Amino acid sequence: MEVCITSLLRDRGFKVTPQRLAIYNMLSSTKSHPNAEMIFNELQAMYPTMSLATVYKTMEILKEIGLVQVLNAGEDSFRYDAVMTNHPHVRCTECGQVEDVYDINIDAFVNEVSQGTKYQIMGQQFYFHGICPTCQRKNSN
Amino acid sequence: MEVCITSLLRDRGFKVTPQRLAIYNMLSSTKSHPNAEMIFNELQAMYPTMSLATVYKTMEILKEIGLVQVLNAGEDSFRYDAVMTNHPHVRCTECGQVEDVYDINIDAFVNEVSQGTKYQIMGQQFYFHGICPTCQRKNSN
DNA sequence: TTTTTTATAGAAAACAATTATCGAGTAGTT
DNA sequence: AACTACTCGATAATTGTTTTCTATAAAAAA
């Protein structure tokens, strides 16, 4: 993993720094789709001098070299995902958590849209919203 | 149309004001999915004292009474749509315009996701991005 | 219609997410 | 070890959005 990001950075003329590795490692080992602030908060314990600006700048680079994708699930901040396969996401409107939607084949649907529009489709994002199992349980009590 | 919005506002205890009618009329007569600033700019000629805050507050109300939906096509601002049917949108990554995707039946896909997740799905937003016909033509010159 | 009540418009300030600036420091190269 | 260029992080700046406050306009009451 680190070999991968290390060489990807170097090949593009970016330097390999502890902050960048830490940010990418944190992101690739969580399924919480954190935003910049969540990443910043989590890393502050280990890297007390970490700055939010560094998180943003690093995300910009990681996006550029294709290691993260940016999510925009209708909130006021962007979330980040180190899983690069394009899958739908679902956000709980009560607790705010964002999860992956697994086992869904989107190709047929994407193809249908691609053929039905005059746009040259380059990508897509599917966002569902609803109530997560935990909040459903809370509500029924 | 105006009868509709007028009574919808009154029934909920909101007052019917020229600004609110103007904002809704402008939105419902365009397909450009404008953001707050675009709405503000367009109305400034006719309503010179119009304020951006009024646009935002009005959109909040219109969303609440179910007359507009909020779009978030991966940009840094929200767009608004007076068409309430839930259809996919496509954004041109070059010129930035956002258009509707017509003639696509999303029900089957939505159902598949609904059944494959433990969430209680309440809604969804599908965003595609690519290059619009106009920009494609520009590029090939 | 006139009066009274209550919500609203709009200016300005506050806020929050993100980006830009810049000097000190560090990674990678020689 | 020394050099060079990139990066970090503090701070300021920007941008989209929300809040506050008060004169005023809309709805209700008289």
Q: Do A119 and B103 touch (CB under 8 A)?
A: no
At residue A29, the pLDDT reads 95
Chains A and B: how many Cβ contacts under 8 Å? 102
Place of tokens 């980040």: A80
B56-85 confidence digits (pLDDT tens): 999 999 999 999 999 999 899 999 999 999
> Taking a C-beta distance cutoff of 8 angstroms, is the pair B98, B59 a contact?
no
Tokens of B11: 């029934």
The first and second tokens of residue B79, run together, are: 């767009």
Mark the nucleotides of strand D covered by protein, meaning any atom under 7 Å from a CB: 6-12, 15-20, 25-28
Instruction: Summarize pLDDT for B112-124 with one digit per residue, the tens.
Output: 999 999 999 999 9
What are the phi and psi torsion angles at A110 (to 5°)? -60, -40
- Tell me: the pLDDT tens digits for B89-135? 999 999 999 999 988 889 999 999 999 999 999 999 999 999 999 99
Q: Flag whether pLDDT at A2 surpasses 80.
A: no
Q: What is the pLDDT of residue B2?
A: 57
List CB contacts (< 8 A) between A88 and chain B: 113
Q: Is the pLDDT of residue A36 over 60?
A: yes
Q: Do A130 and B109 touch (CB under 8 A)?
A: no
Q: Looking at residues A27-34, what average pLDDT do you find? A: 96
Beta strands A120-131 and A89-92 are: parallel
For residue A58, pLDDT beyond 60: yes
Average pLDDT over residues A115-130: 95
- Kindly report the average pLDDT of chain A as a whole number: 94
- Look at residue B3 in the predicted model and tell me its pLDDT: 60
Write out chain A residues lying below 8 Å of B122, CB-based: 93, 129-131
Q: Which of B87, B38, B85, B89 is nearest to B59 (CA)?
A: B38
Domain borders along chain B are 1-83, 85-141
Q: Give the Cα separation of B61 and B52 in Å (integer).
A: 14
The more confidently predicted of residues A4 and B118 is: B118
Distance (Å) from the alpha carbon of B139 to chain A's nearest alpha carbon:
12
What is d(CA A136, CA B12) in angstroms, rounded to the nearest whole number?
A: 29
The CATH architecture one would assign to domain B1-83 is Orthogonal Bundle (1.10)
Cβ A74 vs Cβ B72: under 8 Å:
yes
The arithmetic mean of pLDDT across residues A1-21, rounded, is: 89
Give just the sign of the alpha carbon dihedral B24, B82, B60, B14. positive
Distance CA A115, CA A130 (A): 30
* Sign, Cα dihedral of A56, A61, A63, A67: negative
> Would you identify the CATH topology of the domain A85-141?
Dna Ligase; domain 1 (3.30.1490)
